[in-house]
Amino acid sequence: MKLLVCISQTPDTTANISFKDNNTAFNPDGVQFIMNPYDEWYALVRALELKEAVGQGTVTILNVGPATNDVVIRKGLAIGADDAVRIDTEATSANYVAKQIAEYAKDKGYDAIFFGKETIDFNGAIVPSMVAEYLDLPFVSLAQHMDVNGNTATLKRDIEGGVEVLSVDFPFVLSAAKGLAEQRIPNMKGIMMSRRKPLNVVAAVDVPNTVEVVHFETPPAKSAVKLIDPDNMDELVNLLHNEAKVI
């Protein structure tokens, strides 16, 4: 099994979000960066489990980003990936990133390419299906369970109001949701070994950008909560009906 896991670096879940340059760019000052949780907890770990179950193969981490991302890439190696590739550029849009990944992966013969279902910064869920299209591969999104039998995978994916069961032959592209695997914490041996594992840096290809954020805005602060006497629920219902007009 030759597996590729594409990871992103994102601000920590609990980071305070602010912007700079007249609200046109994210302000990284004081922000802790992490591996996108869907990539780390579910996509990467399920790829490692698959390799372990088959008993041979490689799990390669791919990241599109600058050298400052090497810390989270090394964490992926510490969790258990065999090697890593960083495409040395700023990840500026979904299409830009998808093209970089597809260009790198197209002649490498991966059996499967894993993504998290979305990144927790732009919440786009675009790149996985785009890479699948550029590589002409089948795609299963929002996978929360996977069984593998020979050359066929049976997957469960979250859909509105239920779960869909699908089968697909390798090779394919997958985006991972909660449930696909359990988070692994890197141990000391993994951390030591990660320092010696290869992290190859490759140059980006030229891709024109057709999408750019021109302005960020944080939502207006909520006005203070209106507290209702617990013995007067008619008052709450009245407010929901006549003031908020939601019931």
Partner 1 sequence: MILIYAESPDGQLKKVALEAVTYGAKLASAMGTTCAALTIGTVADAGSLGKYGAGKVYNIAGEDVDNQNIAKAVADVAEKIGAEVVVMPFTSTGKSIQGRVAAILNAGVVSGVSALPDLSNGFVVRKPVFSGKAFADTKITSEKKVLSLMGNAIPLEELGAAVDVETIDIDLAPCKVKRLSVEKQAGGIPLPEAELVVSGGRGLKGPENWNVLLELAEALGASTACSRPVADMDWRPHHEHVGQTGIAIRPNLYIAMGISGAIQHLAGVNNSKTIVVINKDPEAPFFKAADYGVVGDLFEVVPKLTEAVKRLKA
Nearest approach in angstroms of CB 244 to partner 1 is: 4
Instruction: Choose, by CB under 8 A, the member of 5, 43, 98, 143 that binds partner 1.
Output: 98
With contacts defined by CB under 8 A, name the span among 49-57, 60-68, 78-86, 160-168 that binds partner 1.
160-168
Q: Candidates 120, 181, 194, 199: give the one binding partner 1 (CB under 8 A).
A: 120
For the segment 179-198, give every residue that binds partner 1 (CB under 8 A): 179
d(CA 82, CA 199): 10
The encoded tokens of residue 159 equal 């859909």
Among 20, 106, 108, 241, binds partner 1 (CB under 8 A): 241
Question: What letter does residue 161 receive in the DSSP assignment?
Answer: T
List 52, 133, 147, 182, residue binding partner 1 (CB under 8 A): 133
In whole angstroms, the minimum distance from the beta carbon of 87 to partner 1 comes to: 18
Which residues, 6+ apart, have CB-to-CB distance to 24 below 8 Å? 213, 214, 215, 216
Token pair for 37: 């949780």
Cβ count within 10 A of residue 109: 8
Contact flag: residue 103 with partner 1 (CB under 8 A): no
Given 44, 72, 140, 143, the residue binding partner 1 (CB under 8 A): 140
At 121 the three-state DSSP class reads coil
Please identify which residue in the block is written with the tokens 């939601």. Answer: 246
Considering the complex, state which of residue 14 and residue 56 has its C-beta at the smaller distance from partner 1.
14
Check residue 21 for interaction with partner 1 (CB under 8 A). Answer: no
Residues in contact with partner 1, counted by CB under 8 A, come to a total of: 80
Q: How many CB atoms lie within 10 A of CB 77?
A: 24
Of 69-77, 104-112, 157-165, 193-201, which segment contacts partner 1 by CB under 8 A?
157-165
**Interaxial angle between packed helices 94-105 and 127-134, expressed in degrees from 0 to 180 and rounded to the nearest 10:** 40
At its nearest, how many Å lie between partner 1 and the CB of residue 26? 9
- Under rule CB under 8 A, residue 126 binds partner 1: yes
Q: Does 73 bind partner 1 (CB under 8 A)?
A: no
Asked if 47 contacts 112 with a C-beta cutoff of 8 angstroms, the reply is yes
212 binds partner 1 (CB under 8 A): yes
Determine which residue in the list 19, 57, 58, 103 makes contact with partner 1, applying CB under 8 A: 19
Dihedral sign from CA coordinates of 180, 185, 189, 192: positive
Q: How far is the CB of 84 from partner 1 (least distance, A)?
A: 24
Q: CA-to-CA distance for 119 and 244, rounded, in angstroms? A: 33
Q: What number of other Cβ atoms are within 10 A of residue 154's Cβ?
A: 13
> How do strand 139-149 and strand 172-176 relate by DSSP bridges?
parallel
Of residues 215-234, which lie at the interface with partner 1 (CB under 8 A)?
215-219, 222, 225-228, 230-231, 233-234
